[in-house]
Structures are given as structure tokens and as C-alpha cells.
Amino acid sequence: MSNDRQDKIVKQAAQVVELLEFFAKTGQPATLSQVSTKLNWPRSSTYNLLSTLTRLGYLYEPTPKGGLYPSTKWATIIEQIHLSQPPSEAIQDMLEYLSEKTGETAVLGVASGTEALFLQVCESSDYVKFAAKVGQTIPLYTTVIGLALLSQMPSSQRKRVLKKTSFKKFTDETLMSTEDVENVIAASLDRGWFGSSGRFAENLSGVALPLDTQPYNYAILVSGPTERMSERMEYVADLMRKAAKKFLNVE
């Protein structure tokens, strides 16, 4: 397949996502012209995409010539995916418990390439907080949850991931080499938990624990402003261990 053909397919996939986000934001049907104008797409490619999705049953006309709108077919598929996804309600309960007890943001993450992907989030209710969203990604190599996830990988896999990593400096504390990463992982495993302050973002601290929930390897994170977290890192780590045992029966 040529590079031009690959680029076109990737662009079309991105347009489907952009179209869904457009409908989610507007909450009402839209004509071809409206979609083309609002999303700044050529009319020809807009027509091709809308026609294809309509033919497949993903778009429909609620009223004749009143514009197109996503059908419930999307909801059915998403619900099936949601019901089959590995993270359980027990994990969400655990995140809510940790957020309530600490007053900070609690996150479940998984490794995705060289990034940590947030699968479930329970944000702090405090105005000043670590603002995290489901689907957000952050680097593995210098974030506390990323290091916890890297620690679960076999050595050969971790080497491959780190070889693909672009070590970008975010703060003066950012880990900038494979050796630094391996040293921090070893020290954290000896201690029994992962913690850091200011490696990825100034004035932000966090504690993370790897979760051995085979066949899936996750990590949980509790993070917030350093002024609130710095004096209670060990307490938070202990609370997280107890929560993992209580909600997931994971040591």
C-alpha cells in the first residue's frame, strides 16, 4: 500500500472521530453543507463520508431533508465494547474510594506504546487538582504511573519501549536516559511503591502502584499538588495497597 493511500485512510478515520465529536457538541442534525462548513472539509470528501456512514446505518435523517444525525447503532456497538472491556466496576469503586480518602485525583492506567493511557479517572473535587481525563496519554519514562507500568514489563520488552522513547525534558527533574529509568524502577520496587514530585509537571506529585491483574497489567495513580502530597506520600501508598486488597483482592 502506498504512503499516499495510507495517509488517506488515516485521515478518513480521523474524520469519523471528528464527525462524532461534532454531533456530540451540537446535539442536533446537520446537512452536508453545515458539516462541510463547520469542519472545514471539502464538499466532495464530506459527501463521500456521510454517504458511506448513511449506507451502513450509522447516520440517518430524523426528518426529510432536515439533516443527518448518528443512529443508535453507534450506541449499541459502544455498549457492547463497554460491557466487554477489562476494567471492572470494582476498579471504579476503588478509584472513588481513593479520591474520597485522599482528596486527590485517582487514575487507572495501562501501557500503550511509549505512553500511559488513562482508562478510568475519578477527579478530585478540589478546585486546584491534577486534571485528568479518560483517554488522556502521558509519557511512560518520567511519570510515576508510567514507571509503575514499565516495571511490569519483561526486561526485553521494556528495553524495546525505551529504545523507541524520545526523552523530552519537561522539568529539571525529568528522567532523561534509560539508565535513569531503570535505576528509579529498581529503587521503587525495593521500596514497594512509585512516587515522584515534579518530574513531568512542576508542583505536581503522585504515588503509583502496579496492579498484577492478569492477563492485564494496570497501574493506579493518586496525584495532586505537591504542597498537599509531599508530606503524605507513604500514607497514600499504604492506603492504595489496602484499597487494592479490599476491592480487587490484589496484594
Q: What is the pLDDT of residues 214-240, one digit of tens each?
A: 777 899 999 999 999 989 999 999 999
Q: Would you say residue 249 has pLDDT above 50? A: yes
CA 248 from chain centre, in angstroms, equals 21
Mean residue pLDDT across the chain: 90
Sign of the C-alpha dihedral computed for residues 199, 201, 204 and 206 taken in this order: negative
Q: What pLDDT, on the 0 to 100 scale, is given for residue 83?
A: 53
142-144-145 Cα angle (round to 5): 110
Residue 142 DSSP one-character state: T
Interacting residues of 167 by C-beta distance below 8 A, sequence separation 6+? 141, 142, 174, 175, 176, 177
pLDDT greater at residue 202 or residue 7: 202
Give the model's pLDDT for residue 29: 94
pLDDT, tens digit, for every residue of 165-176?
Answer: 999 999 999 999
Q: In b/e form, how buried is each residue of 203-217, taking b as 16+ CB within 10 angstroms?
A: ebbbbbbbbebeeeb
Q: Give residue 179's region: left, alpha or beta (phi > 0; psi -120 to 50).
A: alpha
Query: When comparing pLDDT for 31 and 2, which is higher?
Result: 31
The rounded distance, in Å, linking the Cα atoms of 218 and 240 is 14
pLDDT at position 217:
84
Interval 20-42 mean pLDDT: 94
Query: Is the pLDDT assigned to residue 158 strictly greater than 50?
Result: yes
SS (H, E, C) 46-98: HHHHHHHHHHCCCEECCCCCCCEEECHHHHHHHHHHHHHCCCCHHHHHHHHHH
In this prediction the pTM is 0.70
- Report the alpha-carbon distance of residue 194 to residue 182 in Å, rounded: 13
- Identify whether the C-beta of residue 183 lies closer than 8 Å to the C-beta of residue 153: no
Residue 87's pLDDT is what? 61
Domains, the chain, in order of start with CATH, read: 3-82 (1.10.10.10), 85-248 (3.30.450.40)
Q: How does residue 192 score in pLDDT terms, banded at 50, 70 and 90?
A: very high
Q: How many CB atoms lie within 10 A of CB 193?
A: 19
The pLDDT score that the predictor gives to residue 219 is: 95
Considering the chain, what percentage of its residues have pLDDT values greater than 90? 76
Residue 9 — pLDDT band, cuts 50, 70, 90?
low
Task: Give Cβ neighbours of residue 193 (< 8 Å, ≥ 6 apart).
Answer: 207, 208, 209, 234, 237, 240, 241
Q: Is residue 89 very low, low, confident or very high in pLDDT (cuts 50, 70, 90)? A: confident
Q: If pLDDT is split at 50, 70 and 90, which confidence band does 250 have?
A: confident
Cβ distance 92 to 83 under 8 Å?
no
pLDDT (average), residues 148-156: 95
